[in-house]
Amino acid sequence: MRADARRNRDRIVEVARGLFRAKGYDAVSMDEVAKAAEVGTGTLYRHFPTKEELYDAVLEAWADRVNGAVDRALSLDAPARERLLAWLRDFAGMLTEHKGAAARITAALGDASSPFAAKCQTYLGANERIIEGLASAVRPGVEAMQISRLVGGAAAVADSSDLSPDALASMLEIVADGLLVPEGANLADR
């Protein structure tokens, strides 16, 4: 890609990121992105034929952030509950960074035809890593999809309402407690 084309693409992505974050995916039009990025609509559509492809580009670096958050949570020198909560807080935080993303991504879980399928797979993979990393503390039968939907649902409620950060944190604690074997439970009974 030519240097000027790369600059245009990068500018479009940065401008779109700001617009999506401020207004939400549904409220942003491709024309608005082109105008704000100071490029022609032809230039925008040459780089991103659909709004979904533009949104995907906005979230590209996100996979690295998701995996980094899992790594940080699993490497904490803390009880399993605290490591799980560290991940769940980061997970919910990433889902709510872009207005409307929590509901959109959570609704797309399991839909291979969704434009957000790659993002869903990233979250599912991260939750599988959490389950594996905390295996001795996680209830039997807990699946990555369940964690993704539970946290996604809580994040979607927080994103679409005036729910305080403390209220979301409290909901995540309840989710964590439900995912873990109760303290003092006989692990042989698992």
CATH number belonging to domain 3-58: 1.10.10.60
Q: What is the mean pLDDT of the chain?
A: 91
Look at residue 1 in the predicted model and tell me its pLDDT.
61
Look at residue 61 in the predicted model and tell me its pLDDT.
64
Look at residue 186 in the predicted model and tell me its pLDDT.
57
Please say whether the structural domain 62-189 has been given the CATH code 1.10.10.10: no
Long-range contacts of 103-110 (CB under 8 A, 24+ apart): 103/152, 103/156, 103/159, 103/160, 104/25, 105/152, 106/148, 106/149, 106/152, 106/153, 106/155, 106/156, 109/145, 109/148, 109/149, 109/152, 110/145
Domain ranges of the chain: 3-58, 62-189
Look at residue 83 in the predicted model and tell me its pLDDT.
98
Indicate if 62-189 has the same CATH topology as 3-58.
no
- Render pLDDT for 143-159 as a digit per residue (tens, 0 to 9): 999 999 999 999 999 99
Q: What is the pLDDT along the chain (190 residues), one digit of tens a residue?
A: 688 888 999 999 999 989 988 888 889 999 999 999 999 999 999 999 999 899 888 877 677 889 999 999 999 999 999 999 999 999 999 998 878 889 999 999 999 998 788 889 999 999 999 999 999 999 999 999 999 999 999 999 999 997 888 999 999 999 999 999 987 665 555 4
Look at residue 64 in the predicted model and tell me its pLDDT.
81
Look at residue 190 in the predicted model and tell me its pLDDT.
44
